[in-house]
Amino acid sequence: MEIKLPNLGEGAESGVVINIPVKPGDKISKGQIILELENEKAVAPIPSPVDGVVTKIHVHEGDKISVGQSILSVETSSTVSVEAASTPNRESGTGTVVQPKTEARPKAPIAAVDTSGDKSISESSSSEVQEYEPIDAASGKSSKLAPPTSPSIRKLARELGIDLSRVRGSEYGGRIVMKDLRDYIQWLQKTAFSKQPQEKPAVESVDFSKWGLVSKQPMTPLRQTISRKMLENWSTIPHVTQFDEADITELLELIKKHTKSFQDHGARLTLTVCLLKPVVAALQKHPIFNSSLDESANAIVYKKYWNIGIAVDTEAGLLVPVLREVDKKSCLQLAIELSDLAARARSRKILPEELKGGTFTISNQGGIGGSFFTPIINKPEVAILGVGRSSYRPVMKNEQIVSRAILPLSLSYDHRLIDGGNAARFITDLVREIENFSESNLIV
């Protein structure tokens, strides 16, 4: 009995094998992990659908495999096939081990094509056209008799090379009128254009070894995903970045003061945790920054929830787990959740669903270094906040020059929805919220 790669969900059809925790001769039980697959931004564990003994493994670590491909063979006493017995594992998001067999269904009759509306021509496939317009293999013509129509339409069809047996007549008895012929011609044009392959720019291959020693390794699925998403985000969103600075001298003192109490509750109090509440307050005051653009409907979607994505730097690449309902949680709860999400992101144990549903993103590079930068918006969000490393600088305060901790802020926004004035007002209010951070947020 063969176990095959299940439907991975979300349109994913393949992945790279990174771990096979079983070997031939091992006894496995239903639900036991038999393979770990790296797909997109997550590692998906693949469970066994049956009890049995592994007889053969068909894949190796590093192989790229697709849905339906055999993973391993097992010996089991059950006479029911894996394909028929498997059921979706909705909690893990890995789906069935193989899809159940389905019976062929009779084809539905083909609906007339309405060319007056905006319906996509892709809804009528080429297979439907062949069923509607049967062609005789020998003559190359339709095997159906031409429906009734006027001599003038027959003459026009002959001149245009159109087989009238393929045209659906709208009048009584299937009689073809000029509108039917025009609609059919328009449909043919749309079909022809929809089938044209998209041209991709030629990529020149460069032999870098001509100039010295090189090494080469394939991009991981995660890096390919990041590369593809960054290109899409940058090329489809007109980015503008607004810069400002916040005085966090008092905030750093509060963090120092309450660090111990957070540690006593198993949490780590960081600047990122303290920025969450000010960010949500600014988003609530400026809801356009918590929206998304529905490009298909040319509409702005205002979200009444505040889910903040936190960019996490991992060895495999950048991941953005999402903290949900930030407005309803305490800083202690957020600190615990953020620590857990970041740890699982770095170990690639994060679930795909935990990387979705964000309304705004924070990318804090302060722990690494640097000051201002231009972060790329995480589509379909419309803005992202970049945070640099704070530094003590001499500033004028109360007519005296004093040393203050200054935090660099970089706000990138989608200029299709957000104007410069909106961005200036948002970041000004955000700075005010940060500088007036309430100590009550940190009392546990």
Active site residues: 415
Q: Is 320 within 8 Å of 230 (Cβ atoms)?
A: no
Q: Is 208 within 8 Å of 216 (Cβ atoms)?
A: no
Longest dimension (CA), the chain: 97
204, containing H or E segment: none
Sort residue 25 into left (φ over 0), alpha (ψ -120 to 50) or beta. left
Buried b (16+ CB within 10 A) or exposed e, 36-56: bbbbbbbbbbbbbbbebebee
Residue 189 structure tokens: 């044009």
**Residue spans of beta strands (DSSP E) within 273-375:** 291-294, 299-302, 308-310, 312-313, 318-319, 322-323, 360-364
Closest C-alpha among 44, 96, 53 to residue 72: 53
The 3-state DSSP class for residue 89 equals coil
Write the CB contacts of 203 (distance below 8 Å, at least 6 apart in sequence). Answer: none
Residue 392 structure tokens: 């003590």
Residue 118 structure tokens: 């905006």
CA pair distance 119, 190, nearest whole angstrom: 11
- Residue 27 pairs in a beta bridge with 53
DSSP for 364-382, written as a single string: E-TTT--S---PPP-TT-S
- Residue 361 pairs in a beta bridge with 309, 384
